[in-house]
Amino acid sequence: MDEVFKALADGSRRRLLDSLNARNGQTLRELCAGLEMSRQSVSKHLAVLEAATLVTTVWRGREKLHYLNAAPINAVAERWIGQYDRRRVHALADLKRALEQEPMSKPEFVYTTYINTTPERLWRALTDPAFTSQYWGVVFESDWKPGSPMTWTVSGVTMADPEQVVLEADPYRRLSYTWHTFTPEFAKAHDVEQELYEKWAAEPRSKVSFDIEQQGEVVKLVVVHDGFEPGSAILEGVSGGWPPIFASLKTLLETGSPLPGGETGKADGAQAG
């Protein structure tokens, strides 16, 4: 956590985080335009924020987009805010609440985490039902080849659809697939209200991508869930559901056991989107 505290100690870097919190997914040029700092200074501050995993970058063609990453802020808040005077850390608390409650302006979810494992084990954890059922409560059936169908089984409900497919599969490096189909059976199993279910079912199909990169003794996992329309109800669901899934995945790979809480609870969060 030392790098996180060091990064947050600088006012200019906090302003960059505020800018991304207000409008996520900005280019370097856009960030420079909103702040009275030189391009070189902004680049240096962004490098510090990225090293502390407070900022995640994603390439879109020739553009490098910057996203605020909630994971380290939530970790710091959970460990420290409850133990010390909130007045001393109100800025961090406010940012944590904003991350949890306010939808990001760009309609996609971006998350970065570092796991003490290997790319091979992480790939297996993302695709093998023996792993996914432990930390997620989901069972996949697929040969994990581009264009191949995927079957999802959650809480006893099996979902299959011609458009529910693997998009990319580069073992140990990158995996991408379309999100599951929302069925009446799924909504009933998860006590989803009819109005919300109809909103989910009416939205265009989204997709999720996992980028895996070995970095020294740990593996960097960058997750991008996109394809949403502005104001997406599904995006709201996955933004709250994915973080506990990844936390449980990380714990499973590093300790051999997922976080306590039960498979169904874990499944509900990320599958609400």
The predicted-structure confidence for 32-82, as pLDDT tens digits, reads as follows 987 878 899 999 999 999 988 899 888 888 889 998 887 777 666 655 555
Domain residue limits at 33:
2-105
124 and 203 part of one domain? yes
- pTM for the structure as a whole: 0.71
96 and 140 part of one domain? no
The pLDDT assigned to 77 comes to: 61
The pLDDT assigned to 270 comes to: 44
* Rounded distance between C-alpha atoms, residue 91 and residue 99, angstroms: 12
The pLDDT assigned to 268 comes to: 42
Q: Dihedral sign for Cα 81, 87, 88, 89, please.
A: positive
Q: Which of 57, 75, 105 is the last residue of a domain?
A: 105
Counted domains in the chain? 2
**Which regions in the chain score pLDDT beneath 50?**
83-90, 98, 101-105, 262-273
The pLDDT assigned to 263 comes to: 46
60 and 8 part of one domain? yes
The pLDDT assigned to 58 comes to: 86
Q: Which of 105, 134, 166 is the last residue of a domain?
A: 105
117 and 73 part of one domain? no
The pLDDT assigned to 5 comes to: 85
As given in the structure block, the two tokens for residue 94 are: 């406010």
The pLDDT assigned to 76 comes to: 65
120 and 201 part of one domain? yes
225 and 134 part of one domain? yes
Q: Is 206 helix (H, G, I), strand (E, B) or coil?
A: coil
The pLDDT assigned to 75 comes to: 66
Q: Which of 105, 140, 166 is the last residue of a domain?
A: 105
CA angle 154, 161, 175 (to 5 degrees): 75
The pLDDT assigned to 103 comes to: 46
Between β-strands 218-226 and 55-60, what pairing exists: parallel, antiparallel or unpaired? unpaired
Place of tokens 């590093």: 254
Instruction: Give the CA dihedral 49, 219, 244, 16, nearest 10 degrees.
Output: 10
In this structure, what CATH number is given to the domain that contains residue 254? 3.30.530.20
